[in-house]
Amino acid sequence: MVAPLDEVLWVSLPYIVIVVFIGGHVYRYAVDQYAWTSKSSELLEKRWLNMGSQLFHWGILIVILGHIIGLLVPPGVTQAMGVTTEEYHKMAIVLGGASGLVAYLGAWILFLRRLLIPRVRKTSDATDFLVLVLILITMTLGLYNTLIYDIFVHPFPYRSTIGAWLRSVLVLQPNPNYMVNVPITFQLHIIFAYILFLIWPFTRLVHVWSYPIFYLRRAWIIYRRQGGRRWLFMLRANFIKEIFRHLLPREKFNNNWSEIDNADRAWEDLYRNRWQYDKVVRSTHGVNCTGSCSWRIYVKDGIVVWEHQAVDYPTNGPNMPEYEPRGCPRGASFSWYIYSPLRIKHPYVRGELMRLWREALSKTGDPVRAWEYIVTNPELANRYKSARGKGGFVRASWDEVLELISAALIYTIKTYGPDRIFGFTPIPAMSMVSFSSGSRFLELIGGVMLSFYDWYADLPIASPQVWGEQTDVHESADWFNSMYIIVWGTNIAMTRTPDAHFLAEARYRGTKVVVVTTDYTDVTKFADLWIAPKPGTDAALAMSMVHVILREFYVDRQVEYFINYVKKYTDLPFLVILEKSGDVYIPSRFLRASDLGLNVPNAEWKTVVLDLDTKRLVIPNGSIGFRWSNEGKWNLKLEDSITGKPIDPALTLLGLHDDVVLVRTYVFDERGPIPIVRGVPVKKLNVGNKDFIVTTVYDLLLAHVGVNRGLPGDYPSSYDDPKPSHRPGRNQ
């Protein structure tokens, strides 16, 4: 007579477990494929994982193999193979025990890693712990049965009891009598295994069925796998008809040159479904890409299913290459990123800072005081700052990071004032809403809005502040009009992919391309000449080039085109005030119309040049003071803005100078800032009761880069002079 509990445990429960196990996997695969993953935390911690995972997985494979042989193969089979029950038993204890211990050690390492390493713990959910705890309990019982009960208590014939019961379950003739006298620890081992199998489909354990052996022959990240539906297609198709279709009569026509194939076409649904859509919207890719290419986005059931270049940019005219097809492979695969399990959807904070913040908050009980507690303590401040650049981010809640950021802002405003807060939000070309919300916030709190150039530092720093325009650079299509292009500090093929073709097309009309990169990047393939400076020396190379250009095209020989160009398009002729600093002078600010007492609009924002024709100080058109003055002089005509007469700005004061003074500038190298004192020609002005000593930006530039014009100071004597900086000899 079998007790009701035994009926439940050894007759009903096994089938419930099997149904949930199989049904759960089908359900999970159907509705939750994107989360079908081992949820690897390898990025967060490698050492323990490597050790624990290797031990556990290799050990458990042998353990599972042992269970399969021990439970599913009847003892009679192994006996017929010449292995006696005693021999099998010993082998099971030695091999099973050893591999079990290895797996057990690995499981403990994985469990402790998840528990003790904060960043792994923070990214674990309850099921991750549950799985490990259940594995540990089940293995503890299994090892006890194998290594203690079997050896020290009583050898238990589990193959003829538990094995026989399992086989009876699998052939649908469950016989609980086999289990009635099984020791309790063996029964508990099975019951905990039940629980493991029950939760299996709903946890990370599903990754067991996705062991990445196929990675050997395909991409290593797969977000959609259409092959998974194949069995559905097999069911839908008329399978029998499909098999015998070659024997069925076929309809032929066209003098038997054509025939109608009876092949099942259900497989085509795969493709039809793949390319179905409900609507098309216009968008671009918010991946910090300034390409901002126009794309048509195909949407089905609210999901982006595919995308296509819009291909409707206006033409560039008859003698220019077109923009189209504008887009890049990154953009074409962007819909995959959107649904990638790797996509960041929560705030992450550097772990060190988070730890400090939580401690400080619990200590002070006030967010602003907590922030103050951290940043005013040099040791604490150094702890989170020195962790920068080392990764170690942990997930936080939106509320927590909002509180932290608000506290930091409030503390800074209270302590230093709102204009100590600098910020920038995503570039307007990408998203007007995020750009506007961030900039409005900064304006409202009295902070300082940086420009996109200062933020990303991939274009001239402070350019918008100087020019009053967001972007003063030309459009990429204009590369086609250049005859000589130096590509430096950019990898156009990678970072301006949709525009890179203009660079290639320019070469067809004879443009020479020089590429300066330390390594062979994607853009190097465009080069007629590839210059590969040692890493970290390209600034020295640039300074040497500037020195040679100034020396040979402006000083030793004056090339009219270059001279006129810098007079018209640069600030080199503007006058700069010099201020006394000890025995020497230092450059201060531009001389302005307001310094001359001129009553003109925005006088504080208008710079001054010396006109070579009249030898008078004049206010040229085009400086920032004209930007908003509505005088109609926001242009680069070389004219006196007051009289409207043409001017010829003096580039240098040499020859017109009242004196030569020593000016101190700095070069920066591995020793830090090194002062350099060099002579520049100056004019002495007296305006009202004020005296000014001024020189031009050009004269300061020549002094700074060490172009010797016979003036006093620390100038190099030749290109080969190794002493002061900024000339070729040293920069070699």
Shortest CB 473 distance to ligand SF4, Å: 17
End-to-end Cα spacing for the chain: 97
The C-alpha atoms of residue 717 and residue 720 are separated, in whole angstroms, by: 8
DSSP assignment letter at 92: I
289 binds ligand SF4 (CB under 6 A): yes
To which H or E segment does residue 485 belong?
A: strand 484-488
Shortest CB 497 distance to ligand SF4, Å: 5
The C-alpha atoms of residue 13 and residue 23 are separated, in whole angstroms, by: 15
The C-alpha atoms of residue 533 and residue 537 are separated, in whole angstroms, by: 6
Q: Which is nearer to ligand SF4, 493 or 651 (CB)?
A: 493
Shortest CB 340 distance to ligand SF4, Å: 15
679 binds ligand SF4 (CB under 6 A): no
Q: Which is nearer to ligand SF4, 309 or 621 (CB)?
A: 309
Q: Which is nearer to ligand SF4, 10 or 323 (CB)?
A: 323
Q: Which is nearer to ligand SF4, 287 or 466 (CB)?
A: 287
| Contact between residue 423 and residue 450 where contact means Cβ atoms under 8 Å apart | yes
Q: Which is nearer to ligand SF4, 344 or 483 (CB)?
A: 344
**Binding span for ligand SF4 by CB under 6 A among 325-333, 449-457, 611-619, 713-721:** 325-333
Burial of 163 (C-beta count, 10 Å sphere; 0-12/13-18/19+): buried
Shortest CB 295 distance to ligand SF4, Å: 7
320 C-beta neighbours (distance < 10 Å), count: 14
Place of tokens 């052996």: 213
131 C-beta neighbours (distance < 10 Å), count: 19
Site string for ligand SF4, 367-406 (x = CB under 6 A): ----------------------------------------
Shortest CB 504 distance to ligand SF4, Å: 16
To which H or E segment does residue 414 belong?
A: helix 398-416
Shortest CB 334 distance to ligand SF4, Å: 6
Place of tokens 């009569």: 249
Shortest CB 302 distance to ligand SF4, Å: 21
The C-alpha atoms of residue 79 and residue 114 are separated, in whole angstroms, by: 44
Place of tokens 């590969």: 532
292 binds ligand SF4 (CB under 6 A): yes
| Contact between residue 341 and residue 34 where contact means Cβ atoms under 8 Å apart | yes
**Binding span for ligand SF4 by CB under 6 A among 242-250, 323-331, 367-375, 707-715:** 323-331
Closest CA to 106 of 149, 163, 68, 49: 49
Token reading at 291: 């390409």
Q: Which of 285, 501, 592, 606 binds ligand SF4 (CB under 6 A)?
A: 285
**Residue 16 half-sphere exposure toward CB, CA atoms < 13 A:** 13
Shortest CB 322 distance to ligand SF4, Å: 15
472 C-beta neighbours (distance < 10 Å), count: 12
| Percent composition of the chain: helix, strand, coil (DSSP 3-state, to 5) | 50, 15, 35
**DSSP codes of every residue in 6-43:** HHIIIIIHHHHHHHHHHHHHHHHHHH-GGG-S----TT
Residue type, 725: S
The C-alpha atoms of residue 214 and residue 223 are separated, in whole angstroms, by: 14
Shortest CB 496 distance to ligand SF4, Å: 8
Q: Which is nearer to ligand SF4, 194 or 306 (CB)?
A: 306
Which residues partner with 484 through β-bridges? Answer: 512
Which residues partner with 258 through β-bridges? Answer: 253
**Binding span for ligand SF4 by CB under 6 A among 135-143, 174-182, 240-248, 322-330:** 322-330
608 binds ligand SF4 (CB under 6 A): no
Q: Which is nearer to ligand SF4, 245 or 330 (CB)?
A: 330
Q: Which is nearer to ligand SF4, 330 or 512 (CB)?
A: 330
287 binds ligand SF4 (CB under 6 A): yes
502 binds ligand SF4 (CB under 6 A): no
Q: Which is nearer to ligand SF4, 178 or 295 (CB)?
A: 295
The C-alpha atoms of residue 548 and residue 707 are separated, in whole angstroms, by: 9
State whether residue 570 is helix, strand or coil.
coil
The C-alpha atoms of residue 727 and residue 651 are separated, in whole angstroms, by: 21
Strand ranges for 354-398 from DSSP E: 393-395
Binding residues for ligand SF4, rule CB under 6 A, total 13
Over the range 544-583, which residues count as b (16 or more CB within 10 Å of their CB) and which as e? Answer: bebbeebbeebeeeeeeeeeeebbeeeebbbbbbbeeeee
Shortest CB 562 distance to ligand SF4, Å: 35
Q: Which is nearer to ligand SF4, 203 or 335 (CB)?
A: 335
**Residue positions counted in the chain:** 732
Q: Which is nearer to ligand SF4, 41 or 497 (CB)?
A: 497
Site string for ligand SF4, 326-345 (x = CB under 6 A): -xx-xx--------------
Shortest CB 492 distance to ligand SF4, Å: 11
247 C-beta neighbours (distance < 10 Å), count: 6
Q: Which is nearer to ligand SF4, 49 or 328 (CB)?
A: 328
Place of tokens 């009960």: 149
- The CA angle 256-258-259, to the nearest 5 degrees, is 95
291 binds ligand SF4 (CB under 6 A): yes
**Binding span for ligand SF4 by CB under 6 A among 50-58, 64-72, 284-292, 714-722:** 284-292
Contact positions with ligand SF4 (CB under 6 A) in 439-498: 497-498
Q: Which is nearer to ligand SF4, 326 or 350 (CB)?
A: 326
Q: Which is nearer to ligand SF4, 75 or 325 (CB)?
A: 325
Shortest CB 129 distance to ligand SF4, Å: 40
Q: Which is nearer to ligand SF4, 331 or 706 (CB)?
A: 331
Shortest CB 621 distance to ligand SF4, Å: 38
**Binding span for ligand SF4 by CB under 6 A among 223-231, 291-299, 528-536, 573-581:** 291-299
Which residue of this chain has its Cβ atom nearest to ligand SF4 in the complex? 331
Shortest CB 500 distance to ligand SF4, Å: 10
Which residues partner with 696 through β-bridges? Answer: 575
Q: Which of 44, 55, 196, 293 binds ligand SF4 (CB under 6 A)?
A: 293
The C-alpha atoms of residue 238 and residue 262 are separated, in whole angstroms, by: 11
Shortest CB 308 distance to ligand SF4, Å: 11
| Contact between residue 92 and residue 158 where contact means Cβ atoms under 8 Å apart | no
Q: Which is nearer to ligand SF4, 307 or 372 (CB)?
A: 307
Shortest CB 494 distance to ligand SF4, Å: 10
**Binding span for ligand SF4 by CB under 6 A among 135-143, 213-221, 288-296, 507-515:** 288-296
Q: Which of 78, 146, 161, 284 binds ligand SF4 (CB under 6 A)?
A: 284
Q: Which is nearer to ligand SF4, 142 or 498 (CB)?
A: 498
Token reading at 619: 């206010």
Q: Which is nearer to ligand SF4, 285 or 606 (CB)?
A: 285
| Contact between residue 653 and residue 682 where contact means Cβ atoms under 8 Å apart | yes
Which residues partner with 207 through β-bridges? Answer: none
Shortest CB 305 distance to ligand SF4, Å: 17
2 C-beta neighbours (distance < 10 Å), count: 13
Shortest CB 292 distance to ligand SF4, Å: 5
Q: Which residues form the interface with ligand SF4 (CB under 6 A)?
A: 284-285, 287, 289, 291-293, 327-328, 330-331, 497-498
